[in-house]
Structure 1
Amino acid sequence: MTLDLTGLTTGPAQTRGSLRLVPLLRDKPVHGLRLDRRAHHEDVVDVGDGTYYASYIPHAYVLRWTGDDHATAAYGTRLAAAKADKADRERPARIPVRATRRMARRTGRDRLRFLPLHLAVEGYLALHFGGPEILWEEWSRRAVARGLSPREEAAYLGWSVPGLDDALRVFEIHPGQCGVAVYVADALASVFVVPHPGDYRALHPTLVEDLYGELVHRHAAAGLPAAALTDPIDPASVSSLADLRAQAERRRRRWAEFHDGTMAAGLLDQEDLTWETVQYLDVRGVPEAPSYSLARFLPPFVPRRENHIGEAILDRDGRVAYLKTFRLSETQVRRGFLLRTLAAHGWRLADAAAALGQRESELAMRLNSLGFGTLLHQHVLDRHRAALRR
């Protein structure tokens, strides 16, 4: 199953330094679905099976679905005086650690609170989290007792991506815009889609609070410029305002085809995505109302290719109403690829090494370099290290 962005069209890109933002437009908002945000102070999530997930969590999304398209007010906001007291302005010196329940949790009949992007990251961290299913002689007892716990991955806050805050502040929001594709030095960093233009206007500033991968941060820090993608109009082909309008429309279509078929192909053309449904969002008592599902996906983990994790709200036909993606670094891709290869071969090092076309000692050292060395007995690591030296 690939991502189905039916209903979204690609608008003209805006470029600033290494940043390129490509707007995604809807002719009609998604029926009966609205998305707001709620500020969060918790930074630990009880996953529900005795596992706790700790991360930077700036806010949660609150999804409201109804059987009609009536306007809905933001949930979880308040009015504040123009001149607040000093006590109201000051933040506490430290925030106590509190656990919120679940990544996605219903807070009403037609309301769901979930943590944006953390659903996708949790899915990646949970990849073969339990470790080896069979205690072969190579694996330590810790590997069977604790698996990959604790499992951690690094990401960069949007504020630390040079130029992103300025780009989001000065770029124009188009009429009907319901999403954006963010590129850094023409590397696709993230895609963000919401159901309604009003939702996007409210959530556009939160892109600087999102998580971004290592490649994105490195390109931005290096100051690599975005390529100049121009398609000039031949003055000889324009003799009237109608000709100019036709030429402009032709270039909009050409740009959309180029973007969807070339620039975003690494995400949109992934055919081996693994999907997991997290919540079903049916409107009770309204048979004619649309139904949706909140799901997350993992890529095929093919090294040296683009690999994106993400989460989406899909209608019953699989079309995207909400989407947020995260581009994995090459190291993160290799970790996922190696875990899947081991699991596919019953966690036997010799079989996995043969499938990868390398020696068992090389695979053991590869596991160690990717941070999985503690899963192996120390004497096994020492033996393989000595074998490679010989």
Structure 2
Amino acid sequence: MIQELHGLRAGPAQTWGAARLVPLLRDEPIADLRLHARLHDEDELSIVELTPREAYVAYVPHAFVATWTADGSPAAAYGTQLLDPREPGEPGLPRVAGLRFRRRMTRREDRRRLRFLPLHLALEGFLDLQFDGPPIAWQEWTRDAVTRGLSPRVEEAYRGADVRGLDDALRVFEIHPGQCGLALYLADALASVFVVPHPDDYRALHPTLLHDYYGELLYHYTQLYPAVPGFDQPLDASRVHSVEDLRGELARVRGEWASFHNDVMFTVRSMRSRPVYRMGRFTLARFLPPFDPAADNHIGETITDEAGNVTYLKTFRLSAAQTRRGHLLSRLAEHDWDLDATAAALGTDRPGLVLRLDRAGFGHLLRPDVIDACRAAARRSPRGDRPPRR
């Protein structure tokens, strides 16, 4: 469970249009884990084979390659390794490789090198949520729902290059000394948090934020709110009587800003974390939120050390519709997909739950006559699927 980003502190925020970018700084970079990007063909869809009977199809612009050492000694930065150009899987010089078929979300390529697909690792975990469908063949669910589950499961997102103003914001963004991450806000809504082990890694991976995925709501925010206000923290002139007083006042203001960002704006919470791969003293994992419809929900992936400190983090903010889908699937799973039991837990009745499932895009899983009967019952009921007023 990730509660906060230990070892990171916030730098001064910068704004450009609807984007507010807050740098995350490390006082002590992590030297024995390094990340670099492996580029793919921008114009191709990738098919990732998860199992012999299950595949993940998506736009995959790049992969991340994690390199670590077993004894804690510094790992070589990308571009400084001595590589054999004939070695399969890792060319001697950086180049664009258009690969259409890929094997698995994570793939070990060497004793100390792991390739994984950033954000796709987390999105695949979200798509896999209750993917197998009802564990019991309740009569309300279709035969396909029982035998095939939610296949195919589809979710949509926008590339960063399509988000208005984000390319300019990243281009003019000042990269600070010691910067190992970024908290990105669009229209002052937290869009994503990106953290890497070393400042050199961040400088190399900073442009990849344009290829990341962002939710539909955030895309529309940038269309509706073309600019966000600047937040100024004024200095108290009554405290300044010398250059030393001015330094102290500046330190106080910077400390208040850092405390505000660290304690309020960056907290990324997860209740369910699933380890994916162990790399020496590091663990690659993905996490799912509690799917609380009244709160912001982020999915993502992390690499943590043996003490639980975050060395790598990338998050994706779910839209309200995606959160509702996750909430409904989670509650169905808690009650073995029994409609009546799930409806009671959600404070509604069977017609109300069925109509909510239909609006969330899961109506094809239910028999048509069940949906028709619930629609007729909702029309006869004065409140439909809405809870009674108090």
Distance 2:130 2:52 in 1: 15
Task: Within 5 Å, give how 1:236-251 maps onto structure 2.
Answer: 236-251=238-253
> Secondary structure of 1:181's partner?
strand
Q: 2:145 aligns with which of 113, 128, 143?
A: 143
Is the partner of 2:51 in helix, strand or coil? coil
Deviation at 1:76, TM superposition (A): 4.9
The aligned counterpart of 1:211 is 213
Decide whether the 8 Å contact of 2:4 with 2:266 is kept in 1: no
Q: Give the aligned partner of residue 8 of structure 1.
A: 8
Q: Give distance in 2, aligned partners of 1:49 and 1:355.
A: 37
Q: 2:61 aligns with which of 58, 62, 68?
A: 58
Deviation of 1:376 after TM superposition, in Å, equals: 0.6
1:319-361 Cα deviation digits (max 9, x unpaired)? 1000000000000000000001111112110111111111201
Shift of 1:385: 1.4
2:279 is aligned to: 281
Task: Provide closer, same or farther for how the CA distance between residues 18 and 79 of structure 1 changes in structure 2, counting only shifts above 3 A.
Answer: closer
Q: Does 1:38 align with 2:41?
A: no
Instruction: Report the 3-state secondary structure (helix = DSSP H, G, I; strand = E; otherwise coil) of the residue aligned with 1:12.
Output: coil
Give 1:236 shift: 2.9
TM-score by length of structure 2 reads 0.90
Residue identity matched to 2:296: E
Q: What does residue 285 of structure 1 align with? A: none
Q: Name which of 172, 175, 181 aligns with 2:174.
A: 172
Task: Give the secondary structure class of the aligned counterpart of 2:190.
Answer: strand
- The letter for the 1-side match of 2:33 is L
Root-mean-square deviation (Å): 1.8
Residue 19 of structure 1 aligns to which amino acid in structure 2? A
Q: Is the 8 A contact 1:280 1:294 kept in 2?
A: yes
Q: Aligned equivalents of 2:103 and 2:40: distance in 1?
A: 12
- Match for residue 312 of structure 1 among 302, 311, 331: 302
The answer for unaligned runs of 5 or more in structure 2 is 80-89, 381-390
- Is 1:71 the counterpart of 2:76 in the alignment? yes
Shift of 1:149: 0.4
Distance 1:276 1:249 in 2: 40
**Deviation of 1:71 (Å):** 3.3
- The total of aligned residue pairs comes to 365
Counterpart of 1:152 in structure 2 is: 154
Structure 2 residue 375 is matched with structure 1 residue 385: yes
Aligned to 1:288: none
- Normalised TM-score (structure 1): 0.90
- Given that 2:68 and 2:75 are in contact with CA atoms closer than 8 Å, whether structure 1 keeps it comes out as no
1:216 deviates by: 1.1
Following the alignment from structure 1 to structure 2, what is the Cα–Cα distance between the partners of residues 64 and 264?
Answer: 27
Residue by residue, what CA displacement relative to the aligned partner does 1:25-50 show, whole Å, maximum 9, x if unpaired?
00111130100010124611011252
SS in 2 for 1:28: coil
Which letter maps to 1:2? I
Structure 1 residues 247 and 363, CA gap change in structure 2 (3 angstroms): same
CA contact (8 A) 1:179 1:194 kept: yes
Measured against aligned partners, the alpha-carbon deviations of 1:238-278 in whole angstroms (never above 9, x if no partner) come to 2222211111111111001111222234x3xx3x5200000
The aligned residue for residue 373 of structure 1 is 363
Gaps of 5+ in 1: 81-87, 283-290
Q: Which residue of 2 aligns with 1:83?
A: none
Matches within 5 A, 1:265-276: 265=267, 267=268, 270=269, 272-276=270-274
User: Secondary structure of 1:21's match?
Assistant: strand
Using the TM superposition, give the Cα deviation of residue 210 of structure 1 relative to its aligned residue in structure 2, in angstroms. 0.3
The structural deviation recorded for 1:235 is 2.5
Matched with 2:122 is 120
CA distance in 2, matches of 1:156, 1:112: 27
Asked whether the equivalents of residues 186 and 227 of structure 1 are also in contact (C-alpha less than 8 Å), the reply is: no
**After the TM superposition, which residues 82-97 of structure 1 pair with which residues of structure 2 at under 5 Å, given as runs?**
none
Tell me, yes or no, if the aligned pair for 2:195 and 2:312 is still in contact at 8 Å. yes
State the shift of 1:234 in Å: 2.3
Give the deviation of 1:387 after TM superposition. 1.4
Q: Does 1:201 align with 2:215?
A: no
2:326 is equivalent to residue 324 of structure 1: no
Counterpart secondary structure, 1:61: strand
Q: Partner amino acid for 1:377?
A: R
Distance (whole Å) between structure 2 residues aligned to residue 166 and residue 384 of structure 1:
50
Partner Cα separation in structure 1 for residue 332 and residue 94 of structure 2? 54
Q: Report the AA paired with residue 59 of structure 1.
A: H
Structure 2 matches for 1:216-235, cutoff 5 A? 216-235=218-237
Please give the per-residue CA displacement for 1:209-244, whole angstroms capped at 9, x wherever unaligned.
000012211111113432331111122322222211
Note the alpha carbon deviations across 1:121-161, whole angstroms, 9 max, x for none. Answer: 00100000000000111011100111000001011100111
Name the CA distance, whole Å, in 2 between partners of 1:144 and 1:337: 20
For the residue of structure 2 that corresponds to 1:312, the secondary structure is: strand
Q: Partners in 2 of 1:33 and 1:79 — Cα distance?
A: 20
Q: Using the alignment, how far apart are the partners of 1:51 and 1:276 within structure 2? A: 20
Distance 1:169 1:77 in 2: 29
Q: Which amino acid aligns with 2:148?
A: R
SS in 2 for 1:216: helix
Work out the percentage of aligned pairs sharing the same amino acid: 53
State the distance in 2 between where 1:280 and 1:79 align.
26
